[in-house]
A and B are shown apart, each in its own frame.
Chain A
Amino acid sequence: MASAIPAKKKALPIPSQAILAKTFHWVNIISLLFMMSSGLQIYNANPVFGGRGGWHFPNLLLLGGWLGGGRDWHFAVMWIYSLNLLAYGLFVFISRRWERRFASSSDIKAIRVSENVKRKSYAWHRLVYTLIIPILILAIASGLAMYKPVQLHWLASLFGDWQTLRTVHFITVPTVLLFTFVHSLFGLKVGGTRLIKSMFV
């Protein structure tokens, strides 16, 4: 098969990704789509902003058909979403990937002082995708606090009152969408479609 690749392209190294990083990306994206659509279904039962009289999300974005169905999906896919993140976290920790593949002080330095545009983009990209991790964890923490505010009272009390807790949990949705979008743009910028493709195929 290698002979089929034109010589010119051979010069460029094809980025290779760990199989566990690829599975994490796939499972995370798909489970997040289910979590967000079922979450918005639950949101609509009593909008975080404005209560019953507040603005409701259109049906097109919803999953579950009604509050009960949205909860069924949300509390089923939460397992896939959070266990996937946990598995990835263990992988990053055990393989010491966090030392090489995530933002460090040298990236912050590059963002601040580097004249090298490529190095700067690279640093920004690493910073953006590193920041996605705490957002994903915050979505789980605020979700658990709302799911079991009594039995996990210690967790719920970290968020202050109920409205703050609901707002934080909701805000993780646009935040994760924004960061995913910027992560994709920087991915394209620093590595082109070859880099993006390497993470999924």
Chain B
Amino acid sequence: MSLILPKRTLSRRHLLQLSGLAGLGLLLDGCGTSLFSDQVGQATEPLNQAIESLLLSQKPVSEYPVSAIEPDKLLINTFETTPQIDPAKFQLAIAGEVAHPLQLSMADLQKLAFTSMVIQHVCVEGWAAIVQWGGVRLQDIATLVQPKSSARYVYFKSADGYYESWDLASALHPQTLMAYQKNGQPLSVDNGAPLRLASPVKLGYKQSKWVTEITFTSQLTSKKGYWEDFGYEWYGGI
């Protein structure tokens, strides 16, 4: 293929056009730096969040067969330490804007209806794993404590200092579990034993491990979640 490239001379107009491109280049040279990403995120997060909550349905999402489980793909992400909790002494506190605050031991939790699901766990980093989780529906725990009508959010506090907040609709989704079982085995400490959040409708960073406190609330504070406070999107829906 012979390409005939026309001779080029640089006119004033061309020079101005090129300087425009150079300006764009300068802008892109900021790459590797955050370059207004906070402002860009803040400007578009409300729109994206509105679409995400619109997409959320309370219908159970379709699950995978047990044969599809990918035991090696679930990577361990921990922000600081791995707390060792004695399951015999463990207490889950459920409080906030509820009619009947409660403390539940592991034995109490295991007496509640058991739900198992095989879903895809999606990490914000880009990897995903098909996992089986077993535990108690958060919905069932909510039925016990009776959140007041003012409650719109749910806070989760973990033994390692991690904290998260969710919208009430996602927390009460029929497949949002307080899980104590993974891939048919008791949950391991690395995966959040004795009790962790597991849900198919949120990204992995929303699914706190080692949860010790659940608080129903009408308002979000300035502390929305460990990673959110660094700049991750709060809703984190998938």
Name A's B-contacting residues (CB within 8 A).
Answer: 30, 33, 37, 42-43, 45-46, 48, 51-52, 59-73, 75-76, 79, 147-153, 162, 166, 185, 188-189, 192-193, 201
Contacts and interface: CB of A to CB of B under 8 A. Distances in A.
A148 B61 CA distance: 12
Contact of B126 (A69, A152, A166): A166
Contact of A76 (B43, B55, B62): B43
B230 to A, nearest CB: 6
A45 B126 contact: yes
Interface-centre pick from A46, A69, A72 (highest chain B CB count, 10 A): A72
A79 B48 CA distance: 10
Interface of B: 3-6, 8, 17, 24, 28-35, 37-38, 40-41, 43-44, 47-48, 52, 55-57, 61-62, 75, 120, 122-128, 200-201, 227, 230-233, 237-238
A73 B55 contact: no
B126 A149 contact: no
B37 to A, nearest CB: 3
B62 A63 contact: no
A72 B56 contact: no
The SS class assigned to the B binding surface is loop
The 9 closest A-B pairs by CB, nearest first: A72-B41, A69-B37, A59-B32, A65-B34, A151-B55, A76-B44, A68-B231, A46-B125, A46-B126
B28 A188 contact: no
Contacts of B124: 45, 67, 71
A150 B44 contact: no
B34 A64 contact: yes
B35 A193 contact: no
B120 A150 contact: yes
B38 A69 contact: yes
Nearest to B120: A149
B61 A150 contact: yes
A84 to B, nearest CB: 16
Contacts of B34: 64-66, 69
Contacts of B122: 149, 162
A181 to B, nearest CB: 12
